[in-house]
Structure 1
Amino acid sequence: MIATAARFCSALSGWRRRGVLTLLGAVTVLGLPPFDIWPIAFLTLPLFLWVFEGGRTKKAAFGAGWWFAFGYFLAGFYWISNALVVFSPDFWWMVPFALVGLPVVMAVYYGLATVLVDRVIPASELPEGTARRLARILLLTAAFVGADLLRGTLFTGFPWNVFGYLWSGSGGLSQGAAWLGAYGLGVPVLLSGFLPALLPNGRPGRFALATAFAIPLAFLIAGTLRLSDAPDMAAQQADANRPGLRLVQPNIPQQEKWKRDLRVRNFEQHLNASRVNRPDWVKTVIWPETAAAFAIDQAEDYRVSAGAWAVPDGGLLITGAPRLLDDPKRLYNAAVALNGAGTMVATYEKSHLVPFGEYVPLSQYLPFGKVAAGAIDYSPGPGPQTLSLPGLPPVGPMICYEVIFPGAVVDPDNRPDWMLNLTNDAWYGHTTGPYQHLQHSRLRAIEEGLPLIRAASTGISAAFDAYGREVGRIGLGENGILDLRLPPAIAPTLFARLGNLFAIGLIILLAGVGFALRKR
């Protein structure tokens, strides 16, 4: 039956082939949040490989990777189009470009990956034996992880839902990110998913199937053992020596966030949530991205009000807010720390801006502005920084999607003790986007061995310890607060020391073994 399925997939052509590849890519998204059905890869990836083997031309080889990735991104990125109409219906005409155009472009990386693999080992030269098919699997794994790396780096990068996130929903499996990072975790994910495609090869195929199951089992055991050695979270939260934090999630709809007539109401909502029933041990209040919907450095009255009302005695308020500088005129998406007098004691400017959201590339040639509020494009800040704040351990702030870039979230020369992500997921409504964004944040905590605190305007606010374990959350679409003790950092992980070099090394290793097997 398996051999029949393999022959059927290999024989597909025309629109049936393209449709099946697109469907397989879309179904693979079930392995991502909020579904987290990670074993789906054991079904979709072997079927994809069999369809790929049926191509006999360069065009067919490119099409195999492109159509599969197109389906994966179409189902995984659909929520982006929601952002265009949430703020203003005037952007309706951009929906097709976001919904279809982005997957069309991103899929090119994976089409080139399958072309490269087919050039090294053409499908027309595959013998009945196992060695060359195994070589093709190793090369394809290396090529797809390489495509993930390129997609996350080139043209400002967009590493959303790289294949390593297919294991992110499992507490044990996701611990592999501490060693490999999100990119490197794609190696065992893809390799174990592709190996069952060797089943039609008889006894070697059965050994390949056993290996496919052994790979995630080994990671699951290793991850579970790592978690079993982790300190008790309840004891950490009971430690009176740990700093106390309050997260505020106001759940203000995006359509109301920037309206001038609602500015005072929105500001007061943040102030009241900061103060209500606040325990004495909470000394730091954290508001989300652009919680202050005005240029905070030019609004002294608002800063003084925030300091007097929201800041605990001897503590701080950390809030997202625009910063507008006059000479020369520059606008920043910033995080600002205020003391009780409303004085700015530290600032951080977002460095990795969202194309077309916060600035428009080649804006002088395009007839439209950015999607976010305001006529001025945001300017980028200097990059990852560590801020020293009174009463707190050194912190590495990130704003919005800066958190999705593995290996680029903290200053390696001045490592912080915790990470802070201020975000606004109101753009994406009740879609899969906020859940995926949250999981990206969680993996950064595992990778770096640092606790991560996440405050969302509306979305999912949460706190993770240095092992990625959830301390608490405010759910999607909820108006609420979360009081907690800041979990401690642990020793730098293997990934924190090596970064994405490990993933690059694995790509080279797989490619080398694949080339060696190719000659057999």
Structure 2
Amino acid sequence: MTISSQFAQAGQWLRAHPLIVAALAGLLVAEGFAPQYRLILLPLIGFVALMHLLLHASGARQAFLIGWVFGLTQFVLGLNWIATAFTYQAEMPVWLGYIAVLLLSVYLAVYPALAGLGAWWIGRGRPLAFALGFAGLWTLTEWVRGWLFTGFPWNPLSSLVIDHGILPHAMRWIGTYGLSGLLLLVPGFCLCALHGRRGDHAVGGKGGWALGAASLAMIASMFVPKQLGTPVATGDQPTIAIVQPNIGQDIANDPTRYEEFFARLARLSQPAPGQAPFDMVFWPEGAIPDYLEDGYPRRFYQATTYGASARLARTRLADVARGGLLITGAQDLELNGDRLAGARNIVTAIGPGGRRRGTYAKAHLVPYGEYLPMRGLLEPIGLSRLVAGDIDFDPGPGPRSLALPGMPKMGVQVCYEIVFSGHVVDRANRPDFLFNPSNDGWFGVWGPAQHLRQARMRAIEEGLPLVRATTTGISALVDADGRVLDRLDSGTAARIAATLPPPLPPTLFARFGNWLAVLFGALLVAGGIASRRRPR
């Protein structure tokens, strides 16, 4: 049996079972994301199978269903960590977590379905036109997924290759979503080559050769060692400590252990004997229960660790830093008279004497985690937030840079805010580094690994080093090339002691943001439409 006949038989089987094959293809792609990200060949196989099915779909309805089933299985497997969060909320059953993953995936699967439908319409049986259209529409639908209905851009396709050579540096020019589209040119070329061998002449012409050249260049770039493009740190860069206390979510809200947790954080923040104190000490999101703002009714302070006043709590934090800055996650309250009206998830810098030297309030809140959407409708039927408490968090004003006395300017993105490409930096007041405090104790094994990879993508896009402090892991120090200089794995109580890496000059993406990705996606779609004019 010849290779061509084998391909023909395989193609017939794929077309005879399109939805089953689409579901399997989605699982193959999901296996490429962290923590299984070394299996880069599986997503390639999955996308070639998906694109073959879409190219030969019998109509628009089947094309949409193929894309939707593919997306459903990809997201259900890739987002399985969300279900773990429900194990820490006693007011809701654990099984509801799996329903939540399924329902979220049902919605998210619409985006690959739309990309597949649009590419089918553009291609109309022409492999080259389909491949270009699919790559462009995937770029655009990933971008839309990042902001529509508050956005959920988790696991962009480009995160598959962040550890592969110099290819991730393309994000400095076309962003996360643009790189996702660029990657899809590789399975697109495989699709064209497959059909070319069957006599469809899919690879002929300038467009086919260009697609092949781009694919080979990308594959080659994945094996080129990353260049050390980040400037070498000088003695002017501050010394830092990134503290990971390993306080699990199952015990984090036990008030009888608050003092134990504080003692652990303080111990890990101290320099080695004979060494100078750190210039900056970074603690995770929500590291302390103390309220650090003055003026609240006394009953709020009595319920916290120190149980006295905000001033004394701040002084104790300043003592830990020994003359440096302690930057920690905490909460501020919003009152209506003496009545609690809301809260803010904040990061604040405490300097000598217990003075607050700058505060950032989290802007992109997590639905069902930090606030309950449609509370009046959902609360009566037993739904509640995953985070303990009945008061919703209120959002802050968005990205801003904190000018810390004597230190580099700091941009802050709390927890999952860091996954929003193009929305992590105040472009009018560019910071010198990013701080991403987080509590990933909610998210099992898969979530923290995926979260770190997406945080590293922001470092590459913006050309900024990244400090990441988490309660249970994975904490890390990342340079402006996206390389992990040091890390603390999950389940470890330890600290990273290092010198803060310097930033790079503003990248093209830092200047223009995701408009570059939108333009790139639109050009790919236009190229697909234009290629339809060439005879098959």
Q: TM-score, normalised by structure 1?
A: 0.91
Query: What does residue range 340-355 of structure 1 map to in structure 2 within 5 Å?
Result: 340-355=352-367
Query: Secondary structure of 2:103's partner?
Result: helix
**Are residues 1:197 and 2:191 paired?**
yes
Is the counterpart of residue 19 in structure 1 residue 31 in structure 2? no
Q: Residue 506 of structure 1: which of 495, 503, 520 is its match?
A: 520
Letter in 2 for 1:286: F
Deviations 1:313-334 (A, max 9, x none): 2x11100011112247320000
Residue in 1 aligned with 2:286? 290
Deviation at 1:455, TM superposition (A): 0.4
Give the corresponding residue for 2:326.
317
Q: Is the 8 A contact 2:401 2:426 kept in 1?
A: yes
* Alpha-carbon distance change, 501 to 257 in structure 1, aligned in 2, over 3 angstroms: same
Residue 326 of structure 2 aligns to a residue in which SS? strand
Q: Gaps spanning 5+ residues in structure 1: where?
A: 127-131
| Offset of residue 11 of structure 1 | 4.8
The secondary structure found in structure 1 opposite 2:370 is coil
Q: Partner of 2:477 in structure 1?
A: 463
- CA shift digits 1:222-253 (9 cap, x unpaired): x74x7144445xxx2xx432101111100011
Structure-1 separation of matches of 2:19 and 2:357: 56
Kindly indicate whether residue 137 of structure 2 is the aligned counterpart of residue 153 of structure 1. no
CA distance in 1, matches of 2:115, 2:523: 17
Alpha-carbon contact 2:331-2:345 (below 8 Å) kept? yes
Q: Distance in 1 between matches of 2:219 and 2:122?
A: 31
| Aligned-residue identity in percent | 34
In structure 2, the residue matched to 1:129 is none
State the Cα deviation string for residues 25-79 of structure 1 (Å, max 9, x = none).
Answer: 1111232222323333332211111122332122211111111111211121111
SS in 2 for 1:296: coil
Greater helix content:
1
Alignment of 1:70-149 (within 5 A): 70-88=72-90, 90-122=92-124, 126=125, 132-149=126-143
SS in structure 1 of the partner of residue 428 of structure 2? coil
Give the residue type in structure 1 aligned to 2:260.
R
Aligned residue number for residue 422 of structure 1: 437
Deviation at 1:100, TM superposition (A): 1.1
Q: Report the AA paired with residue 350 of structure 1.
A: K
Moved over 6 A (4+): 206-209
Cα gap change, 1:357 to 1:4, in 2 (>3 Å)? same
Q: Which residue of structure 1 aligns with residue 370 of structure 2?
A: 358
Amino acid at match of 1:267: F
How far, CA to CA, are the matches of 1:408 and 1:136 in structure 2?
A: 31
Given candidates 310, 313, 316, the residue that maps to 1:305 is 316
Answering whether residue 266 of structure 2 is matched by residue 271 of structure 1, we say: yes
- Give the counterpart letter for 1:391 in structure 2: G
Structure 1 distance, partners of 2:138, 2:385, is 32
- Is the partner of 1:503 in helix, strand or coil? helix
Return the offset for 1:219: 4.0
Contact 1:399 1:422 in 2 (8 A): yes
CA contact (8 A) 1:293 1:321 kept: yes
Once structures 1 and 2 are overlaid, which stretch shifts more, 180-189 or 266-275? 266-275
Shift, 1:196, TM fit: 0.3
User: Would you say the 8 A contact 2:174–2:520 is kept in 1?
Assistant: no
* Aligned partner (choices 323, 339, 343) of residue 331 of structure 1: 343
For residue 54 of structure 2, what is the aligned residue in structure 1? 52
TM-score normalised to the size of structure 2? 0.88
Change (3 A) 1:229 1:151: closer
The alignment covers a number of residue pairs equal to: 501
The residue type equivalent to 2:40 in the other structure is W
2:10 maps to which residue?
8
Shift of 1:9: 3.9
Separation in structure 2 between the aligned mates of residue 101 and residue 434 of structure 1, nearest angstrom:
22
Structure 2 CA distance for aligned equivalents of residues 377 and 181 of structure 1: 33
CA RMSD of aligned residues (A): 2.2
Once the two structures are superposed, residues 72-131 of structure 1 have per-residue CA deviations (whole angstroms, 9 ceiling, x without a partner) of 111211111111113437342421322211111100122122222233444xxx2xxxxx
Unaligned runs of 5+ in 2: 294-300, 302-308
Q: 1:473 corresponds to which residue?
A: 487
Matched letter for residue 419 of structure 1: L
Task: Return the match for 1:251 from 246, 252, 272.
Answer: 246
1:2–1:200 CA contact under 8 A, matched in 2:
no
Is this contact kept in 1: 2:480–2:504, CA < 8 A?
Answer: yes
Q: Secondary structure at the match of 1:352?
A: coil
Which position in structure 2 is the counterpart of 1:400?
Answer: 415
| Structure 1 residue identity aligned to 2:149 | F
SS of the residue 1:65 aligns to: helix
Q: Does structure 1 conserve the Cα–Cα contact (< 8 Å) formed by 2:231 and 2:503? A: no
- Asked whether the 8 Å contact 1:338–1:345 carries over to 2, the reply is yes
User: Relative to structure 1, is the Cα distance of residues 228 and 276 closer, same or farther in structure 2, using a 3 angstrom cutoff?
Assistant: closer
For residue 350 of structure 2, what is the amino acid of its counterpart? L
Instruction: Assess, with a 3 A threshold, how the Cα gap between structure 1 residues 333 and 296 changes in structure 2: closer, same or farther.
Output: same
Q: Do 2:189 and 2:212's aligned partners in 1 also have CA atoms closer than 8 Å?
A: no
Contact preservation (8 Å) 1:453, 1:462: yes
| Contact in 1 for aligned 2:410/2:433 (Cα 8 Å) | yes
Deviates more, 1:366-375 or 1:377-386: 366-375
Cross-structure match for 1:175: 169
CA–CA separation in structure 2 for the residues paired with 1:6 and 1:453:
52
Task: Please state whether the residue corresponding to 1:318 is helix, strand or coil.
Answer: strand
Change (3 A) 1:109 1:3: farther
Contact 2:15–2:53 (8 Å) recurs in 1: no
Distance 2:177 2:133 in 1: 16
1:377-388 pair list within 5 angstroms: 377-388=392-403
1:193-243 alpha-carbon deviations (Å, 9 max, x no partner): 22101223127559769546413145447x74x7144445xxx2xx43210
